């Protein structure tokens, strides 16, 4: 029996709604226990939805369960109604998955200020993962129905991106990109990986910056010399044209918005999911935010959460 931990994020966000809707569609899964962390705040509508598909066993803390875990079957949803802040649910689940890497973690959205105000002083899920695992080489990847993206840098100010880039970081991100590609289904797992340029027009022959000529092109050339299927640097404002979607297995983007603006415009909340690469266990997330403006209005789209849970299920089965 393996476990999938689901943290629903901000108590006044849409995390619990999309998790409940997704689990309602999936229902119980053989040899899997779902463990859902939530707040009690305006949650009854969504717990009632879960009760239509699962027998629900509620605890205030995960450590209350103890040996009872072994007697809980797949039809029972383990419901952790916690008074702690959402970042601490995530922290606890990370430790559980570190001890049991065959389990998986699915996360709903947590606002960045909540991470800071909780006292953890990290910039989001990825920052806390790097701290707990003591691994700075974690990369944010996004899997969609149209194309896939990996970020070389994540939540840093734009003015610091160029200074952060170096040959070593590009090499580590390329290794992560190859691992990501290996998880894709044919024919995408055989297609080349594309890396974008940093500057407008990919520097336009050195007229707009020099990172392409000094760093990115030499890096690509070295990989190609060892028969690695890496191409680029692509011109950023043309890279995501529709005719390019089928050419590449994924796009390696040098900073956060370079990859996520096109990814979210195309995929919205329908098919996109966020995967953390470099962990000893599976962590997958929705690709959207807390959407507090539609909290508890029963209009949130649960498709991204559904895809995230399905990804976790398939990973455990593999």
Per-residue pLDDT band for 121 (boundaries 50, 70, 90) equals: confident
Rounded Cα–Cα distance for residues 5 and 89 (Å):
10
More confident residue, 287 or 196: 196
82 — phi, psi (to 5°)?
-110, 145
Rounded Cα–Cα distance for residues 106 and 285 (Å):
5
Percentage of the chain beyond pLDDT 90 is 79
- Condensed to tens digits (0 to 9), the pLDDT of residues 12-36 reads 999 999 999 999 999 999 999 999 9
Please choose, from the candidates 264, 267, 272, the residue with its C-alpha nearest in 3D space to the C-alpha of residue 304.
Answer: 272
C-alpha pair distances (Å), 41 with each of 61, 137, 149? 16, 36, 35
**Domain coordinates in residue numbering, the chain:** 2-135+279-317, 139-264
Rounded Cα–Cα distance for residues 90 and 128 (Å):
9
Residue 56's DSSP bridge partners are 77
The pLDDT assigned to 33 comes to 94
The pLDDT assigned to 274 comes to 94
Q: Collapsing DSSP states into helix, strand and coil, what is residue 2?
A: strand
Domains 2-135+279-317 and 139-264 in one fold: yes
* pLDDT tops 80 at residue 241: yes
Of 228-232, 236-240, 280-284, the one with minimum mean pLDDT is 228-232
The pLDDT assigned to 66 comes to 74
Average pLDDT of the segment spanning 187-194: 93
The pLDDT assigned to 46 comes to 96
For domain 2-135+279-317, the CATH architecture is 3-Layer(aba) Sandwich (3.40)
- Exposed e or buried b per residue across 101-131, where buried means at least 16 C-beta atoms within 10 angstroms of its C-beta: eebbbbbbbbbeebbeebebebebbbbbbbe
- Condensed to tens digits (0 to 9), the pLDDT of residues 73-87 reads 889 999 999 999 999
- Exposed e or buried b per residue across 51-70, where buried means at least 16 C-beta atoms within 10 angstroms of its C-beta: eebbeeeebeebeebeeeee
More confident residue, 282 or 207: 282
Residue 114's DSSP bridge partners are none
Of 63-67, 139-143, 237-241, the one with minimum mean pLDDT is 63-67
As given in the structure block, the two tokens for residue 112 are 């960045």
Asked whether 13 and 293 are in contact (CB, 8 A), the reply is: no
* pLDDT tops 80 at residue 123: no
Average pLDDT of the segment spanning 216-245: 93
Q: What is the pTM of this model?
A: 0.90
Measured between its terminal Cα atoms, the distance across the chain in Å is: 14
User: Considering only the top CATH level, what class is 139-264?
Assistant: alpha beta
């Amino acid at each position: 029996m393996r476990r999938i931990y689901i943290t629903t994020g901000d108590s006044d966000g849409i995390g619990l709604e999309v998790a409940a809707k997704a689990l309602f569609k999936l229902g119980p899964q053989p040899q899997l226990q779902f463990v859902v962390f939530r707040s009690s705040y305006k949650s009854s509508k969504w717990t009632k939805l879960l009760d239509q598909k699962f027998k629900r066993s509620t605890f205030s803390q995960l450590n209350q369960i103890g040996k009872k875990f072994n007697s809980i079957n797949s039809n029972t949803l383990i419901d952790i109604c916690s008074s702690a802040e959402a970042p601490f649910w995530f922290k606890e689940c990370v430790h559980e998955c570190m001890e049991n890497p065959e389990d998986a973690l699915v996360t709903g959205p947590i606002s960045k200020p909540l991470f800071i105000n909780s006292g953890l002083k990290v910039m989001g899920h990825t920052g806390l993962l790097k701290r707990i695992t003591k691994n700075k080489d974690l990369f944010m990847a996004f899997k969609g129905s149209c194309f896939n993206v990996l970020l070389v840098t994540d939540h840093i100010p734009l003015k610091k991106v160029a200074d952060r880039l170096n040959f070593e970081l590009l090499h580590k991100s390329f290794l992560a990109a190859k691992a990501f590609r290996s998880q894709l289904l044919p024919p995408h797992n055989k297609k080349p990986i594309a890396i974008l340029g940093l500057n407008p027009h990919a520097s336009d022959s050195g007229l707009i910056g020099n990172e392409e000529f000094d760093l990115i092109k030499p890096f690509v050339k070295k990989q190609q010399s060892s028969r690695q299927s890496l191409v680029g640097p692509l011109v950023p404002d043309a890279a995501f044209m529709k005719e390019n979607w089928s050419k590449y297995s994924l796009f390696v983007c040098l900073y956060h918005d370079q990859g996520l603006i096109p990814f979210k415009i195309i995929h919205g909340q329908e098919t996109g999911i966020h995967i953390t690469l470099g962990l000893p266990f599976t962590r997958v997330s929705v690709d959207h935010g807390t959407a507090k403006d539609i909290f508890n209005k029963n209009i949130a789209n649960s498709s991204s959460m559904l895809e995230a849970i399905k990804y976790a299920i398939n990973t455990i089965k593999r």
